[in-house]
Amino acid sequence: MATTTAKLDRLQSRAILYAGISSMFTSPVEEKFQSLCREEFKNQLIEAAKYYDEYCGKKSDGIHETVVALIDAFDKEKNTIEYEYINVFGHTLSKKTSPYELEHLQNQEIFYKTQSLADISGFYNAFGLQISAKERVDFISVEAEFLSYLIVKELVSRQKNFDAEKIEVARNAQRDFLKDHFAGWTSTFAKNVIEQAHISFYQHAGRFLQRFINAEKTYLGITG
């Protein structure tokens, strides 16, 4: 059975929103962050959030309005964002706002952290992805970009009517990576960012991340 247009649009909106997370939580000096300066990308984020709200209903908890507020704050506060990024995510601060998954593990034993890092890398390697040497594999921007990539793989597989197995591989990887890694720490991370940020941009970014991940867990049937 051919995939419906609505399902394809849903996948596209999810991929764009994960790409947005990847951009907004990377360093403002990086090229990836600068995509938020492009009107085309900002409009894509707004439209994706609007569509996501429409098909999730109340479960999305107002993602569209949060993205609109985030972009408005970005336009007004762009000259202070670089300083605030250092203030919120800098190395001298509490691990509560660290943008790295391993810093949020309850079990901080070296062996456990090494195993967790290997598991994250295993997901990337399974899809033939290599991470730049200057980026940690557990960085929120890298993990969010990986989820966006997996969704695009499912989208393309459905568009080209690939066999069900290829579609399921991409779909299951999304659910597993979200359950085993991304969702396990980003909700708390988002809450801490909201509390510690001094400018609206990062407060809205934290709210968006929090609401989106909660909606994604519901959408993919992830409990806990």
Tell me what pLDDT residue 91 has.
64
Average pLDDT, rounded, for the chain: 91
| Domains in the chain, number | 1
Chain-centre distance of CA 72, in angstroms?
20
Q: In a 10 Å sphere around its CB, with 0-12 CB exposed, 13-18 middle and 19+ buried, how is residue 155 labelled? A: buried
10 part of a folded domain: yes
| pLDDT-based confidence at residue 57 (cuts at 50, 70, 90) | low
For residue 147, give the nearest of 116, 166, 120 by alpha carbon: 120
145 part of a folded domain: yes
User: What predicted TM-score, i.e. pTM, was given to this entire model?
Assistant: 0.94
Which amino acid, 8?
Answer: L
224 part of a folded domain: no
Instruction: Kindly report the CATH number assigned to the domain that includes residue 93.
Output: 1.10.3480.10
151 part of a folded domain: yes
Contacts of 141 (CB under 8 A, 6+ apart): 21, 22, 23, 25, 26, 32, 99, 135
Which amino acid, 83?
Answer: Y
For 96-135, write each residue's pLDDT tens digit: 899 999 999 877 778 778 899 999 999 999 999 988 778 8
Q: Which domain holds residue 134?
A: 5-219
**Helix 200-219 to helix 81-89 angle, to the nearest 10 degrees?**
60
Which structure tokens are listed for 119?
Answer: 């598991």
CA atoms within 13 A on the CB side of 4: 3
- Judge whether residue 161 has pLDDT over 90: no
46 part of a folded domain: yes
Hunting for tokens 């596209």 — which residue is that?
12
178 part of a folded domain: yes
For 140-158, write each residue's pLDDT tens digit: 999 999 999 999 999 999 9
